[in-house]
Structure 1
Amino acid sequence: MSVATAPRASAPQASQTVPALRKRPRLRAKHLQAMGVPRQRETVSEARRTVRRLLLRWGVGPQEAFEAELFAAELLTNAYHHSRADTPGAEIGLCIAEGGGAVLIEVEDAGGEGRPTARGQTDEDAEHGRGLDLVESLGRWGWRTLPDGHLSTWAYVRPAAQDRAR
């Protein structure tokens, strides 16, 4: 998983408007957990609960843990629905990194036809399509294509203390 091999740095770069151009925050990870999530609908909720328990055990604040759990669920659901990995037993990679209360969630899948986008959708009756809008309203996110053609989508939760300082 790419977060585990990323060089360590400190604070994230300023956001840009196009998710693919946003620099993925690199943090000094005090805690790091990578896992494979089977590409099955029911495993998304299990992975979401695992993320929350893990972050609370690491001492991440409840608000940050909640946002990271939400981000993980959205990114995993998108990977489940949009990845071209139709191979039985295929997994989606999930990596959770924490440092100083900040959390980086990264999901890797085999990629698909399009690329992730927040639509700014206003249709209140739509059953799908609001997830990345929600992620964007709460934090930073972006995506990149990896050298092997896989898609890596990430979301960053800034510690509440940084929010108060700004």
Structure 2
Amino acid sequence: MHEYTSKARVWGLSCPGFPEEVSRARRWTRDILRGSPLAEDAELIVSELSANAILHTASGRGYGSFHLAVAVSAQVVAVSITDDGGTATAPKVEHQDQDAEHGRGLGMVSAIAHRVVIHDSDQGHTVTAELYADALRGGQPC
């Protein structure tokens, strides 16, 4: 194998910050992961993170957008949503009671994913959720 060849594949999609783009991001993720046992979880995570970007950041204002990346290897599926920022604080997991109407989405993502990483920069926030294939084969989630 050539030293610059990798078995990991990465796809990217940029979407305008309109609510209907959440379903587009979901379908796009589903198409990439067709046949993967992690596809449904990844699709749900993309839906939640995309909606959060539109609702809570500059991505949902005026000419805003959000960016989705899906990385796939034999060991992991990682989905990342990068928003346009515009908020004073980075996203964080909040544990709300089950009757709460808002604030439970990132908690749900962290319950589904094996690892969630949040990066904050001057240009926006990136939330990456990782799903491990080993956990499906009887291994323990990391």
Structure 1 length-normalised TM:
0.71
Matched with 2:100 is 126
Matched with 2:14 is 36
Paired residues, what number?
A: 134
Cα 1:161/1:142, change in 2 over 3 Å: closer
Q: Name the SS of the counterpart of 1:118 in structure 2.
A: coil
| Structure 2, unpaired ranges of 5+ | none
Matched with 1:51 is 29
Taking the aligned partners of 1:86 and 1:128, their CA distance within structure 2 comes to 17
Structure 1 residues 62-89: Cα deviation after superposition (integer angstroms, max 9, x where no partner)? xx11111111111111111111246533
CA contact (8 A) 2:69 2:80 kept: yes
Greater strand share, 1 or 2?
2
Cα 1:99/1:89, change in 2 over 3 Å: same
Identity fraction in percent: 29
Cα 1:133/1:29, change in 2 over 3 Å: farther
1:76 and 2:50 aligned: yes
Taking the aligned partners of 1:86 and 1:74, their CA distance within structure 2 comes to 14
Structure 1 residues 10-29: Cα deviation after superposition (integer angstroms, max 9, x where no partner)? xxxxxxxxxxxxxxxxxx66
| Structure 1, unpaired ranges of 5+ | 1-7, 9-27
Deviation of 1:163 after TM superposition, in Å, equals 5.6
Structure 1 residues 86-112: Cα deviation after superposition (integer angstroms, max 9, x where no partner)? 653322111011000511111111212
Q: Which amino acid aligns with 2:21?
A: T
Please show how residues 95-134 of structure 1 align to structure 2 within 5 Å: 95-111=69-85, 112-122=87-97, 124-134=98-108
Alpha-carbon RMSD across the aligned residues, in angstroms, is: 2.2
Q: Which amino acid aligns with 2:36?
A: V
Taking the aligned partners of 1:75 and 1:152, their CA distance within structure 2 comes to 10
Cα 1:96/1:86, change in 2 over 3 Å: closer
Please show how residues 134-149 of structure 1 align to structure 2 within 5 Å: 134-139=108-113, 140-146=115-121, 148-149=122-123
Q: Which amino acid aligns with 1:116?
A: P
